[in-house]
Amino acid sequence: MELQKTLYECYRWRANWGELVMARQRIELAPEEAEELSRRARATTVPVRDRQRAEIILLSAQGLAQQRIAEQLGISRLCVNRWVGRFALRRLQGLSDRAGRGRKPWLPQAAVQQVLEQAVTPPPHLGRWSCRTMARAAAISPASVQRLWAASDIKPHLSRTFKLSNDKRFEEKFWDVIGLYLNPPDKALVLCCDEKSQCQALERTQPGLPLGIGHIRTKTHDYVRHGTLTLFAALNYLEGKLITRLASRPRPAPGQACHQEWLAFLKTIDEETPAELDIHIIADNYATHKHPAVTRWLDRHARFHMHYTPTSSSWMNLVERFFRDLTEFITEKSFASTRELADAIIAFLAARNENPRRYVWKAKGEDILRKINAARQALAAVQPDSNAISETAH
């Protein structure tokens, strides 16, 4: 009897790494714990052991038996028992290895500090640091530099185009536009409108070699220009279909369509949409869109409602996402005339409207504003006078 009692106690408790771990423990997760464990289980950049430990706890919280968890993850029941018990005692901290385990750091601390601190301030003779140039400066291997940068999420080789709006009514216009995406009005169409000027008919000087097994397709670096076209597009937010108009007449200013072309496009929209529906147009702040002749036409057509994006904020207009797809299509081809370019664009648009694809706005407005405010603070710290706020006409 005494022996059975001892064996039961051994089954119930076992000593592991100086801690008592319960063999069977019911796991209940707080919301922040569940979120963090789910992140680890989904992430592809965390160590495999951390992802596996997170999966053990999540499955245990769902009520699965330890043996079934072990079979599902391909590990031993003893391993499941260990991490469930450590989590029960120390929560998320219990899923980390004890200090002192594993390979000891061998890089000089001064070199580590140099690699991390100087990455954001390249020397005058370099545009940016690379793993090799930093390795030579810090007297360590390029692989060590890469690992240090990856662990600290430092990416000197990447950059992106970015500009903060200086529109004084930014937040008002922001919610006006985003509100149409998140809560479209009834009995109305939401059209994201803009013009893509300078669609160039470029003819490559030689035919490219086609794609084949063992070699990639080619195209020449030089070309002959045969003129440009301007494409006006209205993207139906709810359906993904497009109302378009091509124009080839000369423009009064480079890169800008004249107001007559924009006015003709508005008339096209008026003709091709049901008369009983209101039209909510999202457009940018180009002077073309606010010309007096355009304003007078809009006043006579009460079903048209204009919603202007803030200055330097064309990223709010989803038609820009379509223009990216169109640009990729155009740049891959060669055109001997603007007529060929127009035919290709028309065929592309027809295929697109036969199988329309929606661009759905999913980001929360609060999250976007939080990031913008953080960017403003960061920019103000670098250059205090760089974020002046200005008035705009709309």
pLDDT in tens, 35-65: 888 988 888 888 888 889 999 999 988 888 8
CATH number at residue 328: 3.30.420.10
The pLDDT value given to residue 253: 53
What is the value of pTM for the model shown? Answer: 0.66
pLDDT at 392 over 70: no
Mean of all residue pLDDT scores within the chain: 84
Q: What percent of the chain has pLDDT over 70?
A: 87
The pLDDT value given to residue 15: 39
Task: Flag whether 368 is in a domain.
Answer: no
251-300: pLDDT as tens digits = 555 444 578 888 999 999 999 999 899 999 999 888 888 889 999 999 99
Together in a domain, 244 and 124 = no
Rg for the chain (alpha carbons), in Å? 30
Task: Flag whether 359 is in a domain.
Answer: no
Together in a domain, 174 and 83 = no
Together in a domain, 182 and 305 = yes
pLDDT at 139 over 50: yes
Average pLDDT over residues 196-213: 87
Task: Flag whether 366 is in a domain.
Answer: no
Task: Flag whether 365 is in a domain.
Answer: no
Output the CA angle 371-377-378, nearest 5 degrees: 90
Instruction: Please tell me which residue, 353 or 392, carries the higher pLDDT value.
Output: 353
How many other β-carbons are positioned within 10 Å of the β-carbon of residue 381?
8
Q: What angle do helix axes 259-272 and 292-300 make, rounded to 10 degrees? A: 20
Task: Flag whether 208 is in a domain.
Answer: yes
Output the CA angle 68-74-76, nearest 5 degrees: 70
Rounded Cα distance, 348 and 326, in Å: 8
Together in a domain, 190 and 328 = yes
pLDDT at 309 over 60: yes
Together in a domain, 35 and 116 = no
Rounded Cα distance, 136 and 350, in Å: 56
> What total number of domains does the chain contain?
3
How many other β-carbons are positioned within 10 Å of the β-carbon of residue 43?
12
pLDDT band at 14 (very low <50, low <70, confident <90, very high): very low
Average pLDDT over residues 305-321: 91
Question: In sequence order, what are the beta bridge partners of 232?
Answer: 195, 245
The pLDDT value given to residue 255: 42
pLDDT at 22 over 70: no
Average pLDDT over residues 376-391: 70
Residue where a domain terminates, one of 70, 95, 120: 95
Residue length of the chain: 394
Together in a domain, 177 and 273 = yes
Task: Flag whether 253 is in a domain.
Answer: yes
Task: Flag whether 389 is in a domain.
Answer: no
Instruction: Please tell me which residue, 211 or 307, carries the higher pLDDT value.
Output: 307
**CB within 8 A of 62, min separation 6: which ones?**
none
pLDDT band at 219 (very low <50, low <70, confident <90, very high): confident
The pLDDT value given to residue 10: 44
Residue where a domain terminates, one of 67, 95, 123: 95
What are all long-range contacts of 144-153, with beta carbons under 8 Å and residues at least 24 apart?
Answer: 144/107, 144/115, 145/115, 148/107, 148/112, 148/115, 148/116, 149/115, 149/116, 149/119, 152/116
Q: What percent of the chain has pLDDT over 90?
A: 35
CA atoms within 13 A on the CB side of 313: 27
pLDDT band at 393 (very low <50, low <70, confident <90, very high): very low
Together in a domain, 129 and 6 = no
**Distance between start and end Cα atoms, the chain:** 88
Question: Is the distance from CB of 203 to CB of 194 less than 8 angstroms?
Answer: no
The pLDDT value given to residue 11: 40
Together in a domain, 55 and 178 = no
Together in a domain, 30 and 146 = no
The pLDDT value given to residue 363: 87
Question: Is the distance from CB of 270 to CB of 191 less than 8 angstroms?
Answer: no
Domain that holds residue 201: 170-354
Token pair of 189 as six digits: 């169409």
Together in a domain, 341 and 213 = yes
CB burial of residue 137 (10 Å; 0-12, 13-18, 19+): middle
Question: In sequence order, what are the beta bridge partners of 193?
Answer: 234
Together in a domain, 60 and 115 = no
244-260: pLDDT as tens digits = 998 876 555 544 457 88
DSSP structure string for 116-139: HHGGGS--TT-SS--HHHHHHHHT
Question: In sequence order, what are the beta bridge partners of 13?
Answer: 22
Rounded Cα distance, 389 and 224, in Å: 43
Together in a domain, 282 and 336 = yes
Output the CA angle 329-335-337, nearest 5 degrees: 130
Average pLDDT over residues 160-187: 89
56-111: pLDDT as tens digits = 999 988 888 888 889 888 899 899 988 888 888 888 888 887 766 667 778 888 99
The pLDDT value given to residue 324: 92
| Cα dist from 45 to 67, 194, 228, whole Å | 28, 39, 45
Average pLDDT over residues 312-327: 91
CB burial of residue 180 (10 Å; 0-12, 13-18, 19+): buried
Task: Flag whether 362 is in a domain.
Answer: no
pLDDT at 388 over 60: no
Rounded Cα distance, 152 and 94, in Å: 23
| Cα dist from 18 to 54, 84, 181, whole Å | 22, 16, 57
pLDDT band at 177 (very low <50, low <70, confident <90, very high): very high
How many other β-carbons are positioned within 10 Å of the β-carbon of residue 23?
15
The pLDDT value given to residue 347: 94
pLDDT band at 389 (very low <50, low <70, confident <90, very high): low
The DSSP 8-state label assigned to residue 105 in this structure reads P
The pLDDT value given to residue 350: 94
Average pLDDT over residues 204-223: 87
